[in-house]
Amino acid sequence: MQRILIIEDDQTLADYISLVLKERGFEVAATYSGAQGLELLRKEKFHLVLTDLVMPCGISGLDVLKEISASKIDVPVIVVTAFASVDTAVEAMKLGAFDYVTKPFNVDELIITINRAIEVSRLKRENAILREELRKKYSFKGLIGISPKMLKLYELIEKISDTDCTVLITGESGTGKELIARTIHFNSPRAQKPFIPVNCAAIPASLLESELFGHEKGAFTGAFSTRIGRFELANHGTLFLDEIGDLEPSLQAKLLRAIQEKEFERVGGIKTIKVDVRIIAATNRDLEELTRIGKFRDDLFYRLNVVQIHIPPLRERREDIPLLLDYYINEFSKKMKRNPFEFTAEAMEHLMNYSWPGNVRELRNLVESLMILVRGNRVNVSDLPERFLTRSQSPESLRITEREEFEHYLLQGKDEINLEKTLYRIEKALILRALKKAKGTKSKAAKLLGIKRTTLIEKLKRMGLDQENTENE
Ligand SMILES: Nc1ncnc2c1ncn2[C@@H]1O[C@H](COP(=O)(O)OP(=O)(O)OP(=O)(O)O)[C@@H](O)[C@H]1O
Ligand SMILES: [Mg+2]
């Protein structure tokens, strides 16, 4: 059962709220002063505190908030305030109150706010624990990800790490092919021996052969001395053949022999050199398709494709997105000596729905650039680069038109009779209208409405409008 602590100097009101909450299934303790409330809070565990803001004698609601935060008591606080003291409510929010309700309040709204506060605080706590556990458990040897697809990958990596088998890693650009190749090597019995990467696409074909196999002095113009190739350098270790799909046909044949026989000659040499090398190859191209159309030798393909590790693109394992963001925020904040930031719920929604064509590399780069560009510790939608902002089909755009219709309807005066509800709706409609006129500039909108900018911001927050329809000034 959820336990709520009420701090309210108006005893009649305190008992009334207590009664109402008990009826709704909460366990309630009512106290009639800040001091009494704090005393009980130190002794017992509550899921939520509902405190009056203005209590003339002794400790005020603000003091209660300060004390809770100073003694690091983990409990969400909702403050109750009279309409006249909304500015103090703003102050309360700054001190860490979850939300505020104005007197006289609507019981249903209060219950909704309470439930939301309890839920959010539960999620926060769970998240913190989960994150810690995940970091320990599921960051598998430096690889971040907890999606079922990644967990399967970890299992596979574990299985093949202590073998010598050839591995073909496939996956789009930026999915972590090289990272996984290194992980396999550094968890294999060859870990103490070299890991030698060769990028088959980056080196011109004419040079690649000597790069791989080395050359003898005088083998070709410019070969002034004997050179050891990557195959030899990788002896007893792992040779990582990156972008293998881009390999020239003539080299494909030579590579096949070297892998198969574990021997080769240097360019211009006659001595056969024997090596003991584990091969890991990677490509972002469809090797099977290349084989079908005759661009890649099928015997080489089968030789490489002993165990295939396919890394799924990020958009197919979206549950890893928050984890990776979190990981890189941590990394870069340490590296750059900056405070870590958080994404607003709306910004996160955009990140979760984005297609991530550049996969983890793109995500990493995003976090790095935000760390440099964004001041403060919250990243809003407006801080994200253009490409994240296409929201043509998002439910958000629908909600905006709904609101406009709603506004239209209200101002025609066909609404219900309940005064509080109607006033609230009219207030909301007017605020929206002012924002529209002011083209989203809050200070202008506040002027049009004849209220302070801070008051407007607080109202927007309360109405859940703080992220949309407005621009940061
Ligand atoms: N699961 C992961 N956890 C943490 N970091 C990751 C993960 N996957 C990829 N990265 C990071 O993303 C970046 C890109 O990874 P990597 O270079 O291995 O990708 P790739 O598949 O080889 O890309 P390309 O095809 O473009 O060469 C690197 O900084 C890497 O550390
Ligand atoms: Mg790579």
Ligand 1 atom 24 nearest Cα: 173
CB distance 179 to ligand 1 below 6 Å: yes
Cβ atoms 73, 46 nearer than 8 A: no
**What CATH architecture applies to the domain 163-312?**
3-Layer(aba) Sandwich (3.40)
pLDDT attached to residue 320: 93
CB distance 145 to ligand 1 below 6 Å: yes
Helix pair 177-186, 148-161: axis angle to 10 deg: 40
Atom of ligand 1 nearest to the CA of 145: 1
d(CA 341, CA 347): 12
pLDDT reading at 441 higher than 90: no
- What pTM does this model have? 0.59
pLDDT attached to residue 396: 38
CB distance 143 to ligand 1 below 6 Å: yes
Out of 3.40.50.2300, 1.10.3720.10, 3.20.20.10, 3.40.190.10, select the CATH number for domain 3-133. Answer: 3.40.50.2300
Q: What is the number of the ligand closest to the CA of 323?
A: 1
Of the candidates 172, 158, 138, 151, which has an alpha carbon nearest to the alpha carbon of residue 326? 138
Domain ranges for the chain: 3-133, 163-312, 315-388, 395-462
Q: What is the number of the ligand closest to the CA of 283?
A: 1
Cross-strand bridge partners of residue 101: 80
pLDDT digits (tens, 9 = 90+) for 120-151: 888 888 777 766 665 555 457 788 988 899 98
Cβ-in-10-Å burial (0-12, 13-18, 19+) of 238 comes to buried
Q: Which helix (H) or strand (E) holds 150?
A: helix 148-161
CATH code for the structural domain at 395-462: 1.10.10.60
What are the residues whose beta carbon lies below 5 Å from ligand 2 (ion)?
Answer: 178
Tokens of 351: 């990140």
Distance from the alpha carbon of residue 283 to the mean position of ligand 2, in angstroms: 8
Average pLDDT in the chain:
86
* DSSP annotation string for 411-467: HTT---S-HHHHHHHHHHHHHHHHHHHTTTBHHHHHHHHTS-HHHHHHHHHHTT-SS
CATH code for the structural domain at 315-388: 1.10.8.60
Residues 6+ apart with CB under 8 A from 296: 245, 247, 252, 287, 290
Distance from the alpha carbon of residue 460 to the mean position of ligand 2, in angstroms: 46
Number of alpha helices (DSSP H) and beta strands (DSSP E) in the chain: 19, 16
Tokens of 190: 């060859």
Atom of ligand 1 nearest to the CA of 320: 1
What percent of the chain clears pLDDT 70, i.e. is strictly above it?
89
Of the candidates 250, 240, 259, 256, which has an alpha carbon nearest to the alpha carbon of residue 202? 240
Q: What is the number of the ligand closest to the CA of 360?
A: 1
Give the ranges where 266-393 is alpha helix by DSSP (H): 287-292, 298-304, 320-335, 345-353, 359-373
pLDDT digits (tens, 9 = 90+) for 389-436: 875 333 433 344 445 545 554 554 444 566 776 777 778 878 888 888
Cβ-in-10-Å burial (0-12, 13-18, 19+) of 404 comes to middle
Q: Which of 87-101, 207-221, 434-448 has the highest mean pLDDT?
A: 207-221
pLDDT digits (tens, 9 = 90+) for 335-384: 888 888 999 988 999 999 999 999 999 999 999 999 999 888 899 999 99
pLDDT reading at 257 higher than 70: yes
CB distance 178 to ligand 1 below 6 Å: yes
Do the two domains 3-133 and 163-312 of this chain adopt the same fold? yes
d(CA 441, CA 447): 10
